[in-house]
Structure 1
């Protein structure tokens, strides 16, 4: 089993948690700051990461985003001595699997880590399955919004023109980009992708163009750029709206001339690739603000695919759930989805879209026996999620998962006439958990007897 990385600046906390976990048979590695954590992660792939929020050389929440960009499969449990509900909500939205406050209950941590390590194994297996060389056949859906998209998508398979994919975070832009490659004339050539978010100036330029040894501080060896790797294949630039304006001008020249010069080199290289871009941002607004070049926009905007958010695809939800469960089960029998659980999923507004749906189903599968997914398996997963994306206009009647959870608990309490042990058994949770949920949602037992 892989080791657990513990990142905390308090030596006493690291000592106590490490000794306890090692006594339970779990191997641990320690880091007192983000720099040490990065070094440790460069040397070893960890099964899970315990991450303090406040560290001497940076913010744990920012590092969480960095971890998610580099390895979306590793489970992360955030720990802090200054926890708030708002912080917990933000942590879960940024990709944390759990959130604990100090002093840490070691027994609770042991249970959470056991589940997290299992979750990491499942995620890696799913990723390996998805990355096998094959033609991707994702379920696209039959709702009106997807029906409008289908002919445009099919046109992208036949032509080599640039494709610009727009849509909220988590709508499946990366999956569509890979599908376009697999169905195009470039299918036997490389599919090279880069997320432009978080990469600024020289670092983004280095990733795209490559560099010679000594081209800049820290360039200890020569590096091949992604432009060179993508020659004759497909280059997918995710979140192109975050690309530095200085890099935009150089990239535009590459698109026009199909040649470029690595940093620190005199000779030019040739690269002829099919370009697919994606963003969740309002590019027209970026252009008006001077943050995105209009000439580059015209160049990449030959064929635009706009992916609808999941809240506009609720007619497809059941089919999407079955499709995603097929990936999650990894060849095993698909679990039955309790109709009440499906109602719970339908009542949620899904600000994180397909990505959030996948994560919620994945966690529920881990918590279940693999045969049936019940409403209790979705408690707390993906919630509380009361805020909406900045560009979202969800229906006013859409409930968040927390509200659906409250309604479900209230109904079970009424059916059990306020009997907490019986209600807890029906819900599949402990009495302590149910009491906590009753308090959290402001429910009163006397109202349900």
Structure 2
């Protein structure tokens, strides 16, 4: 795709010359004659560089550098002005400009500046993306056969550009795996953009994905970029895509087919070169049968499906994962005694790795810096009491519960049960079998 340049210049003749020259050089140049137009364009569209005049009809271009840097620390900015004042040049660089040129500008020289500045901007973006991804944890690979299959499929996904669907219960690490695939793909140095479809529904989700123009709906007081715009050249991760409503599925399917879309309320088509990774804890095939999910969209998102097995199906991994989690919690040397490991492996972990991490964090808090003990894991492996099987058993369980709450005080328990003291004594004798 062509590099898109935002040219902010009030002189029409200068704009015409620059647009004509850089169009021949293979750039797409978008013009803004003042800061108002520039602010609207920058808020709603993606640009690879900004060419900025300082003296503009509605303000000082130096102030606009601050606006740009608030939203994007890496985009290249070249200041072009008729003022050959050294202090102005110094201030523009201090505020975040990458280069400073004085009019009249030699187009060939500017082209060299722009090319070098774009290279620097690309490096900045890659470094920022790399730093963000470094903070993410690795998936918990293991020798378990199911996880070996997951790793093999994840590597295939990383080596390709195909859409990937990651399935598995809540807490199995679908998001971590999605980031691993992105990080190890050719797009790994670009943006990883994530949205949870279960947290946003209907128009809210559509606004987040597609963005909107000012006036598209009542509260749309400004243009807003969507995640498709931000994910251009990178990866879009739709977590819990099974919760995406049918009203959003149709326009999103069109995006996958055409690689272009419109912001809400806009007529202009925008292109986005993104790679899609989706995840769900739901049975999407069953949802298709119940007309809750589009079959044609399912075909588009699951060219490669990776299933993360629940923790209860690979309990031999629990000690390894628990020790890895302790390392992540800055307790790498803290031992896990056999008794605690027995508790951990004896539990089914309905919340999977996320629940295991939560339990370990709570245990560390209770241990107050000391060794972990079984009482720090209270509740794990304790089977629930059997459900009463008759009215008599239900009544007995209720009486015993009220007695316990009353501290063994028969008078207080009888009052709470709305029966006489003598009746309660009789019931207690029947419970004891005497």
Same structural fold, with TM-score higher than 0.5 when normalized by the shorter chain: yes
Pair 1:344–1:155, CA change in 2 (3 A): same
Map of 1:363 onto structure 2: 362
Counterpart mapping for 1:102-141 below 5 A: 133=134, 136-141=137-142
1:222-258 CA distance string (max 9 Å, x none): 2210010000100000010110112111001101111
Alpha-carbon distance change, 182 to 378 in structure 1, aligned in 2, over 3 angstroms: same
Q: In the alignment, which residue of structure 1 is the partner of 2:15?
A: none
- Alpha-carbon distance in 2 for matches of 1:136, 1:349: 24
Q: Is the 2:162–2:275 contact (alpha carbons within 8 Å) kept by the matching residues of 1?
A: yes
CA distance in 1, matches of 2:365, 2:142: 26
Instruction: Give how far 1:142 is off.
Output: 1.2
Shift of 1:141: 1.3
Cα distance in 1 for residues equivalent to 2:154 and 2:233: 21
RMSD (CA atoms): 2.1
Whole-Å Cα distance in 2 between the matches of residues 295 and 356 of structure 1?
35
Q: Does 1:173 align with 2:164?
A: no
- Offset at residue 198 of structure 1 (A): 3.5
Report the secondary structure of 2:166's partner residue: strand
Per-residue Cα deviation, 1:257-307 (whole angstroms, up to 9, x for no partner) = 111100112212111111000001011110011110000101111110001
Deviations 1:302-359 (A, max 9, x none): 1100010000111111110011111112xx5431112111111111110011111111
Corresponding position of 1:315 = 316
Tell me if the contact between 2:187 and 2:233 (Cα under 8 Å) persists in the aligned partners: yes
Q: Aligned runs of 1:78-117 on 2, under 5 Å?
A: none
Question: Partner residue of 1:376?
Answer: 375
| Partner of residue 401 from structure 1, selected from 378, 381, 384 | 381
- Is 1:234 equivalent to 2:239 in the alignment? no
Contact 1:335–1:370 (Cα < 8 Å) also in 2? no
Q: Which residue of 2 aligns with 1:262?
A: 263
Q: Once the 2 structures are TM-superposed, how far is the Cα of residue 377 of structure 1 from its aligned partner? A: 1.0
Q: Distance in 1 between matches of 2:300 and 2:250?
A: 12
CA distance 1:244–1:172, shift in 2 (3 Å) = same
Q: How far apart, CA to CA, are the structure 2 residues paired with 1:370 and 1:252?
A: 52
The correspondence of residues 22-421 of structure 1 with structure 2, limited to 5 A, is 133=134, 136-329=137-330, 333-380=332-379, 401-403=381-383
C-alpha separation in 2, matches of 1:155 and 1:343: 36
Residue 164 of structure 1 contacts residue 300 of structure 1 at CA under 8 Å; is this kept in 2?
Answer: yes
Q: How far does the alpha carbon of each residue in 1:361-393 deviate from its partner, in whole angstroms, 9 at most, with x for none?
A: 11111211334221111114xxxxxxxxxxxxx
1:131 shift after superposition: 5.1
> TM-score w.r.t. structure 1 length?
0.55
CA 1:135–1:309 in 2, change beyond 3 Å: closer, same or farther? closer
Q: Give the 3-state SS of the residue equivalent to 1:185 in structure 2.
A: coil
Please list the CA deviations of residues 402-447 of structure 1 after superposition, one character each: whole Å capped at 9, or x if unmatched: 339x9xxxxxxxxxxxxxxxxxxxxxxxxxxxx9xxxxxxxxxxxx
Q: In structure 1, what is the Cα distance between the partners aligned to 2:283 and 2:168?
A: 10
Rounded Cα–Cα distance in structure 2 between residues aligned with 1:339 and 1:401: 14
Gaps of 5+ in 1: 1-129, 381-399, 407-434, 436-449
Instruction: Give the secondary structure class of the aligned counterpart of 2:187.
Output: coil
Determine if contact 1:137/1:179 at 8 Å carries over to the other structure: yes
Moved over 4 A (4+): none
Runs of at least 5 residues in structure 2 that lack an aligned partner in the other structure: 1-130, 386-406, 408-434
For the Cα contact (< 8 Å) 2:242–2:280, is it kept in 1? yes
Could you tell me how far apart the structure 2 residues matched to 1:289 and 1:216 are? 32
Question: What's the CA shift for 1:137?
Answer: 2.9
Secondary structure at 1:308 match in 2: coil
Q: Is the Cα–Cα contact under 8 Å of residues 208 and 226 in structure 1 kept in the other structure? A: yes
Report SS of the residue matched to 1:276: strand
Measured in 2, the distance between the counterparts of 1:133 and 1:147 equals 23
In structure 1, C-alpha distance between the alignment counterparts of 2:261 and 2:202, rounded to whole Å: 16
C-alpha contact (below 8 Å) 1:334/1:371 kept by paired residues: no
TM-score by length of 2: 0.57
Structure 1 residues 311 and 131, CA gap change in structure 2 (3 angstroms): farther
135 and 324 in structure 1: CA distance in 2 versus 1, 3 angstrom threshold: closer
Q: How big is the shift at 1:132? A: 5.6
Whole-Å separation in 2 of the counterparts to 1:174 and 1:338: 31
Task: Give the number of aligned pairs.
Answer: 257
Per the alignment, do residues 321 and 178 of structure 1 end up closer, same or farther by CA in structure 2, a change over 3 Å counting? Answer: same
